[in-house]
Structure 1
């Protein structure tokens, strides 16, 4: 059965969507999230931004990009806390998604099914080049996925990996340029054991 245009518009307006911005460290994920959220604010939409409470590298209550652009956010302990948003919220932004629990894809689906546009930014791979946290599952259910690239610090090629230069082995290590550098595939695997 074909949908009439009016029926399609009505159905489309009642559902939101999930967008994922992913890539390596220093690739501009947070910058792109802030840009999309500001555009929603310019359109006078009600927005809500979240970040993991553990991420205090730049500020406790702001999302701040490496280019020093910032936007206020609400730090939360876990993804379920995001379900307490107001009914007037049209757009939800989530930064550093890799630090959230495995409930994040379900939370994003619940929000999108309420008609909310959900924009999520996060690392898709950890420092070993393996899928990281809930981000790969979010990519699978998202309507839109944007993979951004950094510049390889070794050769200048597009970088998709976050190479850890610090000696730590735990998966979760909050850090910046003193702990990580972006690398392309060749430079990433050339300097590590697989």
Structure 2
């Protein structure tokens, strides 16, 4: 979290729009942290999107002449998302996916590992560890909740490097 994944997704999709490509954006219907329909970054940059319940809905909802598909918060989608992305890519559609690759326990998260394995290109972006300033690849959960999915922001999570994540240090 806080690494700029959604910001980068929005940047890439807006560049595609500037290039006059037909772009459609999807997000999980469950992610309503900033907005019910728009994809919104922590910096409040936004782009209109279509909230969906299941990844198979992407195949039903895209228009025939779409050039680029964006998917935000991919870790919250079902395990069919890699297959759906593959079908779209095989149709000649550029598919850009953003999501967390690990959950708060540091374990592979949802369909992201399979998507990363099948992707032609992967860009990993990192936050800054709030404990020591190193690159942070973990989302440390600050609240006592064992549920795998807990929608939250700075009150619930903070970015940490491997050493600080494993040390389990409380925030200073």
> Is the TM value for this pair above 0.5?
yes
Q: Deviations over 1:80-125 (max 9, x none)?
A: 0000211100000000000000000000000000000000000000
Matches within 5 A, 1:61-80: 61-80=37-56
For residues 14 and 168 of structure 2, the distance between their equivalents in structure 1, rounded to whole angstroms, comes to 39
For 2:72 and 2:63, locate their aligned partners in 1 and report how far apart those are by CA, in whole Å. Answer: 19
Identify the structure with bigger relative contact order (alpha carbons < 8 Å, sequence gap 6+). 1
Shift of 1:184: 0.2
How large is the RMSD of aligned CA atoms in angstroms? Answer: 0.7
Deviations 1:127-154 (A, max 9, x none): 0000000000000000000000000010
Structure 2 counterparts to residues 173-192 of structure 1, below 5 A: 173-191=150-168
2:70 to 75, 93, 116: 93
State the 4+ residue runs in structure 1 displaced beyond 3 angstroms.
Answer: none
TM-score by length of 1: 0.86
Give matches, 1:67-146, under 5 Å. Answer: 67-84=43-60, 85-146=62-123
**SS at 1:145 equivalent:** coil
Per the normalisation by structure 2, the TM-score is 0.97
Matched residue, 1:158: 135
Separation of aligned partners in 2, 1:87 and 1:113: 14
Distance 1:57 1:191 in 2: 26
1:47 equivalent among 3, 23, 47? 23
Within 1, Cα distance between the matches of 2:107 and 2:37?
Answer: 29
Number of residue-to-residue matches in the alignment: 168
CA distance in structure 1 between the aligned counterparts of 2:34 and 2:44, rounded to whole angstroms: 9
Is the counterpart of residue 30 in structure 1 residue 6 in structure 2?
Answer: yes
Give the match for residue 170 of structure 1: 147
Gaps of 5+ in 2: none
